[in-house]
A and B are shown apart, each in its own frame.
Chain A
């Protein structure tokens, strides 16, 4: 894996996975997202996560980051198909760059019932250095960022605590070649 986290990860438990993160620069015009999503659904490719935002107002460009699954041959075909779309400037598999960084942001709302749960939550929050957005009597909201794997790990750890209620939202990974 050539991409590494912008945050240090407490447990180096990254599994070797066939996921790829593609970074696509496009003209920001009506229908562009539909073109890309349609390409994936029409050709039977997976979208695990997707993120779109304007990144260059002057030149009217957006960057779309897509997390997908597939073997290398399929990923190359996806890139070639993306680059055929008229508004697409470039499509890059971050894994093919010599250096790239990846990050994702996640907001987690946790409802707990007792002290013991609260302690465990606090403990994980410490290990993962999540930021407290809001804390009430029996609700805490954290913001955690880092690689998707790191967030997965945090959520897995939270799930080992019995009896709490977790609600969350994730941005999907974003990434940049350096």
Chain B
């Protein structure tokens, strides 16, 4: 290590990794803007949910639609992508002990993204982009809106390029031995998908921008929908890859979760990349522009190979946790490892809740709704926001929150503020979302549309008398939404207080729990010296298939049964409809 590297970096007291100040600054800046976006999105969420709860019906129509656009952009695009930029910098520099490639250029790109963000915010709040975040033409927004999105995307694309450059530096300067850790491998997956996604973004937004300033003719609405969703859904695959990488990271930090088999986990990541451009199709299943054959091949990502990947991670992540716990001596029974897990560590509870809700609710509903014919009874109903609030919100966003509880002491070197609240925050957020998701999903099953200001249809020419049960479901959604927003606001308060006014962390004491420090840091989950031997015994062929991780086998069996039940129930419901074809 050269003298200059020592001057511009420090050694992490908990993990012994070298952290470069320039990288640290970029991670902080991106994380701070992510949290600000989350705040804007959460306030909008509260107002939206109180409007969709028909008994409350808070906002006037204009503001409902305007804030729906604001919520979509700030949450799905700004909060998530700024956080991902932080994750990319973190994975390439901190996890690999490497210096960041061209940090000044990194700040330039961050600035570009920020300018783009402010342009979009201006256009939306001033009522110049009341087109929702999908902005389907021929609906037209102010050119500043499209230009803002383009600047944001270009900035993100260049940061992704810097991520790859940093990997090259790390390799060349031999900052690690062998192959990159699995977590970094997951981040690489996310970054590759990000490149593909952002290229689609350029394909769709540049012509739309030119059209909005009157330079070119109209954009074909169907082609736009296809390209837009190649951006809009592929970016969800970035989120999934980043989330799974964080699952592996939090598993390692909180309970010493092990990687069962690198080949299996890494192959699953590759599957995400291979079929990613097909992801747009499940948004177009009941669109007029595409043939059934095209829809079937594409919606299934070529025979459900991305689903296979998620089902693999859905096994290896809990199995890794189980094995990690067993190797540390928590061996009793099928689920002793779960009972003895650190449920008060918000990093761990976020991880587990994220895995469970993403898998059981998000995964199952997603595959079902994305089935060509079943989409007929789901498209644009409340079942859709019901689905994605269980994936990108209680899956990805919650995983990001869990990671933050570790990044605060490790990167920001602050104790986690409001510690007792931090311990319950994941439960509050996830529990609220579960109610929100169930309310939305059941309301949607009765045909309640998404993106709709008034389902009492008071200004419509004909009445639409929904089943009274719908009122109940919307109330459940409303209460869940209030709880979830409270959880999000608590998270924001914790993050802001910790970063700007938090108690500094100089070194991390080991052994006893410390208020404001997650248990994985004060009591690191170290494995015994003879851990390889114990591992060998657990894997002995004589112990059979249930050998090392019997509890997880039970869990995935339950999962598969729930999946089958939900999937075939939907086919049954579909079969009651009129004949259509």
Q: Do A and B associate with each other?
A: no
Interface residues of B (CB under 8 A from A): none
Interface residues of A (CB under 8 A from B): none
